[in-house]
Each structure stands twice: as structure tokens, then as C-alpha cells.
Amino acid sequence: MRWLLVPLLAMALGCGDDGGVPADGAPSGDAAAVGITPPAAPLAPDFGTCPEGWGQATAAGEAVPCEPWPEGREAACPVGEAHFVGTSACAPVGGSCPSGDFSEALPTDRALIYVLAGATGGDGTLSRPYGSLAEFAFGALASGTVIALGRGTYAGEPRLARGVSLWGACAAETALASTVPGARDGVVTVLDPGSEVRDLRIEESPRLGLALRGGAGVQLEGVLITGALGMALLVEDGAVLTARRLVVRDTRPRVVERDFGRGLAMVPGAAADVSEAVFEGNHEYGVYAPGADTTLLLRDVAVVGTRARTSDGTNGNGLLVTLGAAATVERSAFVENTDVGVLALEPATHAVLTDVVIRDTGSREADGLYGSGIGALRGAAVDATRALIERNRGSAVLAAEGAARVGLTDAVVRDTNGQVLGLLGGDGLRLQFDSSAEVARVRFERSRAAGVVAAGGGAMLALSDVVVSDTRADEATGGYGRGLNAQMGASLSLSRGVVEQSLELGLYAGSEGTTVVLEDVVVCDTASQETDGRWGRGLNVGSGASLSGRRLLLERNHELSVFADGAGTTVSLSEVVIRDTGVNACASTSCPGNGGGMGLGAFEGAAITADHFEVARAAVCGVYLATGGAMDLSEGLVSECVVGACVQVSGYDFERLTGGGTVLYADNETNLDSTTLPVPEPSAPIPE
């Protein structure tokens, strides 16, 4: 703790000294010259009209994010039904069950083979259906034939070629199952383009649920796959999957290897277009899309409760896009997945998310790490628009390594908690090293430790129309609670922003090479740290970092509204209002006399310049210099403070504090004082 007492300086403080701060109560400068323009207010997130079937509440006249389910998550549904995104309740996976044995929607322009479980003496006609799949040869069927399956359960491993299709009565009452193990074969395997599988379910079997061989194509409609082994859906190179009203549940890991258990697994070069689908209770990845020529489109999809890989307790991602694949996700929800809800890895990988909810991601089972809603790593890119990202862990949005990039527009990020291991983190957005992010019209609410973090050389964060509100203390230590944090050479810019109700620091900028640019920004109501009652600063700049700010309002912060510390640290301010800086919380308990209460403070070789500024109603000093700090002021007003200028730098040129008569000191109890005051301690970087 560096609350040093600076020795009393021998200073000639005579009233009316030439070039000095004026005598107590005597105004100087021209108040009309200050001319401060207030900050422009940030624009709120614009969620527009919610997708059909989604709900939207209104609070205090402002729109809040769209919600895909009325109760905040999907309902539990009976066999053959699901609660799809944008619907009010459980509904049949496909068509409703017919009154008779067969679907009432069978095509009339294609050859039909009828199969009804348990029938005998059949010939495949409606009046004399086959009793099982073993009673006819699939290879002998004409191109485009439809196999109509009635109510019942059917054993076998049909292989569909030449556009042959399967059409059940309904997913609740027509089932396929196999007892024959298969490593990469499905209960249903599609060999060629043009097949359809409709209105049936594929039950637990010792093989994949449905496999598409290279170059194959299938359309799924109203299909439920439960308890498949290894992968529920495998789409190989050149294969094309089109699916609607699809449900994939509880895919099991492979028995010996104890891996996989994936819902939808693509290989490089595959394509999938999936709408109105639920992937629930799978392992390792709910949806997996790798490869430069792989394309994935998800619309109206829920990926829920993906569990970790059994062998090592890692992964459990709702969606993994990697190795250069491209994914587009619209009107979808990722809930209660593990490790990262939506993860993009490797250069040229790009995921575009629109109208999404990502919530309740858990940390990895193996080590308790992570739990992010969105992750872009190792050069990948993720763009999310109209997103609600809530109740995730570690970092709600994370970009790191290899020039990874995140774009976030019209979003709310809230209630992020620390990862399970040590309860560390809980930030709303984190950039590390050479990653970048562009963030516009976003609210970060109730994060832990820090609302937004940019750390490391090359990290570049551009924020506009952003509110960071009510950042809470780190769960592990009870410390921190910062609104914005830039360190280790990162670059952060914010235009039209509000940072409010933080703990410890509204904004931290530390380390040589770190740069912060603020324009039209309010930093207010920063409270002291919960653990010891210290700090509560508005802007904290140190260790060689630089900050420039234009049109700022800093009010109701504590200890110091602007703190600059360390050689090479620079703060440049223009059109800035600093009001009502109070003492910190420990001033009346554990740190009496060390509570601060200063508007501007420069220490240990740091330099502050300010023009067109106002400092009003600081609890102790309007401006404060000590231990080699420097300050150059012009066109300003310092008023209603106990002391206008507290100067503890021997021989300091007071002309630098009056700006050639352009700075007005008025209505202070004392305009200038050199009484010994504690020197505030610098703050530390946030842990990596």
C-alpha cells in the first residue's frame, strides 16, 4: 500500500503572487471562456421487431432483448414432440399422427412400398403391406421410390440410393432401430442425392443415427434421433443435408474411446441447412462444422445441454466452427452448453449470428475453466447482431490469439459470473493480445471483475454507443469491479458511452503502450472496492499508459475522478466536467485521513493536460500534484472544493495551473494549499 506522506514543502504562497493561483476567495480567469459541450448520449441497442413467435418485454420505456421461449427456456415434451424456438409450447416433431396406420401426406406421383410392423404375407401394397424391412431388396427399388412405414418399430439398417426415401406415420409412433454395431454407418445410410426421410424416429442403436456418404443428399422432415452412438448425424465431404423439424437428443460417446457423442457432425466439404431443430443432451459438440469448404446454416435452432467429452472432460460446445468453415446462425438459442456456447477456431473461420440467445454456459468438467457464451480464437471471426448473452462464465465474449476478431452489434451482455475454477473472471468482453473487436449499441450489465477487458499488445477494441453498468466484484477475491480495463499495450476507444456503478475503478489503463481514446463519455457513481473500502476512481491511468478524452462527464466518483501515475503516463482532456468527487468508503473506518476526494491527480512523473474543463465540489482538492506529477490547465473552472489546488511539488510553476489567467478558481474554501496529504496508491492490472 503506497499511501506515503509527502514532506511539507517550503513554498512561498503569498497572496496575489505574480503568476500564481489567486488568494483565497479571489476569482481569476474568465468563466465564460470555459465553453464545455456536454457528452452526446449513447444509442440504445436496437432489437427491432422480434422474430415471429419470440417475445419482447419493455422496461422503463426501453426495449429489452427478444426471448425465444415464453418461460425463458424450452419446456419438457413427451416422445415425438419438441418445444421449438419461437413457439409457445410442445408440438409434434413432424406431422400429426394419422388416424390410420400410414401418413395421410404420402405423395401420389411416386412409386410406394408399404411396410407395417407385424404384417404377414404382404406384397408391399397398401392392402397387403410388408411386415418388415427384410422382406424386400432395397437395391431393387426403382429410383425415387418412397417406402411408407406404418406405426411400429422396424429393425434394420436401410441404405438409401437413387433417391429412395423413407416416410413414417409420425415421429411418435414410427421408429427405426438396429442391433448391429457400425463405426461410420448409420441406422439409415444415404448413398446418393435426392433421398428424403420423414416423420419417424431413430432409436438408440450401437451405430450412428443417420450417415450421408460423400456426394449424397437428403431432406429430413419431422425426424427425431435419440441415443445414437458416436454421432447422430454424419455429413461427409460433398454431402448435403437439408433438415426441418429435426430433433437430436442424447447422443452417446463411443464405448471404448469414450469420445464423440456429437449431435450433427460435418466433415470438410460438407453442407448443411437446418431449420426448426433442437439438439439436446449430446456430448462434445452439439453441432460441429470443420473445413474451408464447409458451409452451415442454422435457422430457428436450439442447442441445449451439450455435455463434455467423456474421455477428458473438455469441450461440450453448443456449436464449434473451425478450420476455415463458414456458419450462419439466425433466430437461434444456445443454452446450458459447456466450455463455450458458440466457438470459432482457426484462420478464415467465420460465424455470423443474428437474433441469438446464448445463456448459462458452464465451465469445463475437466478443470472448471471457461464457460464463455461466444469465443473467437486462433484467428477466427465471429459477428453477432441482436444478441442476448447472459449468465455465462469466465468471459461472456472472448477473442484471443492469432488476430481473432469479434463484432458485436445491438446486444445485451449481462450477469456473467466467474469460471468454476477459483471463481475467476466474469467479464462481459475480453480481448487478448493481437485480437480485435468492434462493438456498437451494446449494454454490459452486472459483469464480474470487469465489464470489458482489452489486454496485450495488438489487442484493439473499438466501442461506440456502449453502456457498462453495475460491474460487480470478482467472486474469488471480492476485489475489482471495473467498468473498462485496458492493459499490457492494448488499444481501446469509446465514443458515446456510459460507465456507471462500477466498483474500484470506472476505467483502468495501465502499462507502456496502452492507449485509450474517449469521446462523449460519462463515468459516474464508481464506488469503493468492497474488500477494503479503497478507491472508487473514475479514470485510473498509470505505468506509462496514455489516455485522451473529449466531452467527458465524471461525477460522483470517489477518491479521485482522474488518477495519473508513473513516468510516461499522459492524460489529455478537453471539454471535461468533473463533479462531486467524494472520499472513499474506508475514510470513516480503516483509512481515516487517506480517503482522497480529488478531482484531478498527477503523481510519480505522470502528466495531465486539460482545457475547457470544470472541477466542482471535490471533497478535498480540485486538482492535486505530488511526487513529480505535472499538470497543465487552461480555459477552466475549479470551484466549490475545500482546496482548489493541492500542490506538493517543490518549485512548481503555478502559471501551468492558471493557464495564463484562463483558469478560474472560485468559491473554494482555500484556493491553494501545500499541506501534507497522502499520495494515493496505484492500482494493479486485472489478472490474466
In degrees, rounded to 5, the angle at the alpha carbon of residue 337 between the alpha carbons of residues 336 and 342 is 120
pLDDT tens-digit profile of 190-213? 999 999 999 999 999 999 999 999
Contact 623, 631 (CB under 8 A): yes
- pLDDT above 50: residue 58: yes
Quote the pLDDT of residue 35.
73
Quote the pLDDT of residue 71.
79
Quote the pLDDT of residue 339.
97
Q: What is the DSSP letter of 31?
A: G
Percent of the chain at pLDDT above 90?
87
CA 389, chain centre distance (Å): 5
At 4, is the pLDDT very low, low, confident or very high (cuts 50, 70, 90)?
A: very low
Q: Summarize the confidence of residues 306-333 as an average pLDDT.
A: 97
- pLDDT above 90: residue 506: yes
Quote the pLDDT of residue 22.
52
Q: Summarize the confidence of residues 177-183 as an average pLDDT.
A: 95
The span from the CA of 396 to the CA of 408, in Å, is: 12
At 62, is the pLDDT very low, low, confident or very high (cuts 50, 70, 90)?
A: low
CA 252, chain centre distance (Å): 29
Quote the pLDDT of residue 444.
97
388, with CB counted inside 10 A (0-12, 13-18, 19+), is buried
The span from the CA of 301 to the CA of 358, in Å, is: 12
Quote the pLDDT of residue 31.
35
Q: Note the pTM of the prediction, 2 decimals.
A: 0.94
Quote the pLDDT of residue 340.
98
According to DSSP, the β-strands at 630-639 and 663-666 are parallel
Quote the pLDDT of residue 29.
42
- pLDDT above 60: residue 446: yes
Amino acid at 424: L
Using only C-alpha atoms, the chain has a radius of gyration, in whole angstroms, of 32
pLDDT tens-digit profile of 514-566? 999 999 999 999 999 989 999 999 999 999 999 999 999 999 999 999 999 99
pLDDT tens-digit profile of 260-318? 999 999 999 999 999 999 999 999 999 999 999 999 999 999 999 999 999 999 999 99
Average model confidence (pLDDT) across the chain: 93
Quote the pLDDT of residue 59.
54
pLDDT tens-digit profile of 97-153? 999 999 999 999 999 999 999 999 999 999 999 999 999 999 999 999 999 999 999
Residues in the chain: 688
- With H, G, I as helix, E, B as strand and everything else as coil, classify residue 426: coil
Quote the pLDDT of residue 114.
98
Quote the pLDDT of residue 599.
98
pLDDT tens-digit profile of 348-391? 999 999 999 999 999 999 999 999 999 999 999 999 999 999 99
The span from the CA of 261 to the CA of 212, in Å, is: 17
Phi, psi (deg, nearest 5) at residue 300: 55, 55
Quote the pLDDT of residue 27.
43
Amino acid at 461: L
Q: Summarize the confidence of residues 8-13 as an average pLDDT.
A: 28
* Phi-psi category of residue 303: left, alpha or beta, with phi > 0 → left and psi -120 to 50 → alpha: beta
pLDDT tens-digit profile of 480-496? 999 999 999 999 999 99
pLDDT tens-digit profile of 581-630? 999 988 888 888 788 999 999 999 999 999 999 999 999 999 999 999 99
pLDDT tens-digit profile of 236-258? 999 999 999 999 999 999 999 99
At 34, is the pLDDT very low, low, confident or very high (cuts 50, 70, 90)?
A: low
- pLDDT above 50: residue 11: no
Amino acid at 161: A
At 677, is the pLDDT very low, low, confident or very high (cuts 50, 70, 90)?
A: confident
Top pLDDT among 674 and 112 is at: 112
- pLDDT above 90: residue 74: no
- Within a 10 A sphere around the Cβ of 244, how many other Cβ atoms? 18
- Within a 10 A sphere around the Cβ of 20, how many other Cβ atoms? 21
At 56, is the pLDDT very low, low, confident or very high (cuts 50, 70, 90)?
A: confident
In degrees, rounded to 5, the angle at the alpha carbon of residue 347 between the alpha carbons of residues 345 and 348 is 105
- Within a 10 A sphere around the Cβ of 118, how many other Cβ atoms? 11
Question: What's the grid cell of residue 665?
Answer: 478558481
**DSSP line for 435-469:** -EEEEEEEEEES-BSEEEEEESTT-EEEEEEEEEE
